[in-house]
Structure 1
Amino acid sequence: MRVDADRHEATVPGRDGPLAGVVVLDVTRVVAGPFCAMMLADMGATVIKIEHPKDPDYTRTFPPMVNNGDTQASAFYAQYNRNKLGVSLDLRSEDGKVLFRKLVRKADILVENFRPGVMDKLGLGYDELKVENPRLVYAAISGFGRTGPNSRRPGYDNSGQATGGLWSMNGYPGQAPVRVGTIIGDLSASLYAAVGILAALREAERKGIGQVVDVSQQDAVFSLTENAVVRYTVDKEIATPLGNDHPFVRPYGQYPCADGYVFFGGYTDKFWAITCAMFGEPESATDPRIDTMEKRFDPETDKTVVTPLLNRWFSRYTKAELEVMAGDDVPLSAIKSIDEVIADPHIRARGMIVDVPVAGRDIEMLGLPIKLSGAAVEAHGPAPVLGQDNELVLKDMLGLDDAALASLREKGVI
């Protein structure tokens, strides 16, 4: 590790990228938080993940586990904690608090995802830490945010989906709502936090003053409900499950084919005419029942004319054949299973599958969706073993000697 005492920077040798030199303290667990800090690490920041020595991030035990001889590690944990340094530190102990405050003085960013008030009870809330470092960007991710009547409620991803409105909209008409099939509350909150952090960091660099970035899972999910809000505020229409349909655009949804399903979105007059010609029936584009976009938007017309026509066309071909036929001309995409996505040449060309060492083996996992033209593609480092970088960080950044480290270990602080 390289330390610049004047700028309070610490960087890992060999790391580059647009955030090189930025130091992040990651006091988070599970996904809402670790994913945010991982994105910063992927872009070159030095991220120090801080875990309690006896109560670490419990996703270390989440499947799938990678076994290599006597070594075992969680690929789930690695996917959200790669490229980080690992420090074990008991923030409830006085010695741990002292060390943490010293780390804060060297840091640019802190990310935490405790329930609001927890860090304050530890004496490590923003008001205390900004005294140590006025430039600190303090990012707090929680279920319901730091303000409002529900701020102290515990929250998980499902809490965000439930209270943000998304759960009530997902599923099929006439059936019970269905949660979105991924932890979209955790992931979207992490993405918004990363955006807020970078904005606050820019402000801190310009004015020398940090601030709190407050992101709630409920807010993040609510922002993903698309047209549901204005449909209600304008027309008092409450969004309900639509299955694979769009509330007003047609044809725009899932259609069966010879070996599965495709998404087809050729609802404009231009795309509709191209599609009709592509399937050898150009006259369908001028059929007076469906010759305009407005006519095709009609639910009954879509059900009785458009959908049967598309089903007849698509049923003759496989997903791959339909994608080739559509090419760059029509919005038609195969609905792919995860194994098909992982094998997709385009996904791989975009660097969305990367090798990350886990338990001594290279495991393929998600890459970073953000592509920067000026950033070189780097090899991804592993997620840290609990406390593996205690000496590197505490000796090089804070100047502790071997005797001090030994004492801290004996007392269970690290």
Structure 2
Amino acid sequence: MANRLKPLPHAVWQAEQARIVLAAARRVDWRRMSPKEQVNYLFSVQGPLPVIDAHFGEDSALAEFYRHCAHEKTGEQRDRCAALLRGLAAKRSTLLWRPELAPALAAVADFQRHGCRELADWQPRSRNPFRQLESLVRHLFDQYGDVPAWIINSWTAGRLFDGLNIADLTVHLGRGGALRTFHRLPVKLTRKVEHHLRLAPAGYTFLQALRYAQLAARGLPEWLGPVLDSRLGRRLERDDEFWLRVVEFFAAAPMVDPYQLGPVCDWIHRKRSVGIGDEPAQPGFSLKGRSMQSVLEQTAKWHRQLAKEAHRQPDNEPAHGTTWEPLPVQDFTGGSKCKVRITQLLSYWDLIDEGRALRHCVASYLGACQRGRSGIFSLTLDGSRALTLEVQANRTVVQARGLLNRRLNEEELGWVQRWAADNRLLIPKHLFG
């Protein structure tokens, strides 16, 4: 294992650089080739990725297709990918060469042998490459035409591993299988939940569709926004049924702000997994016998404690200087005299400072930032902190909170939308509410 971490010998490094220069010198203008010749050209080269990038050109569509359809593939896998791309080339499909669709086409090639129809019988009816991909997936894998729209949309949105293997699920449902019998579901489904899961809106991720179905089955569809805005909209907890009972606890309480669900869920998670203050963790903690008023008061008290504790560093806490690699999302400035700034926070101290200023528990996202699951961004207006944003690794903005966990206002939403558009980030509808 240690040998893998050693730097390359200088002679090896020089040889690698020479290969890169030679590959760049041999680069040809592949766009002048016919589609079939382009596919043959793609699979005619081999080598490490730096050499391939030099051969095809920086940021080339062919280089991206090579990464997903040829690099580190077995001979059989390369042949399947080549056959699919040749078939698409023969039909003059606009799926070639869209680099963002390369992973999806590689998955189509991997699962094509399990399809219900032949590629030769497919005819694209639109010039739009994303609609062509939807049509191709339905043609190859959807025998009865009833695979849910949100699953098909996951192919075009690049969410093929969205809590489960979307391609595998598509093949299972396309053959007439039931959702609840899919062998890799992270939770068990009742028939009622399965029914609503099939009806989930097209743009939803698997987790969003699951939450939609679980709430619809309980007669609580109006709670979808607050649920997706909480930790329940970002991950499946081990004791998922318990967390759904927390939602029912809120729904049964009169005159309570639904968006207090998020802070309360954070408080409960802390109480069950780590403990609060000098209390040990209480894995069996429940809301039985508790009033909504007492739960909200204890949540607010915990947030006040977090703000005070941010000034000191307990022995078991990570160092304030702890840092991590940023998500590949650019910062943003806008307005006259840079009135608005959106900046990624990249140290534990930054999280603490943000949480102390806006009086929320963003410092608890240290682990998610270190593992690359989330990125935390701070929006300032005229130099003052106004909003904290969480972006997940799938480039979705999942949280936007201001002072004391308030929702974002219209002005802030406008700036967040501009920043998201610049970075091609997805903003779920519940964030607007």
TM exceeding 0.5: no
Output the TM-score relative to the length of structure 2: 0.29
Q: From the two aligned structures, give the one with the greater helix fraction.
A: 2
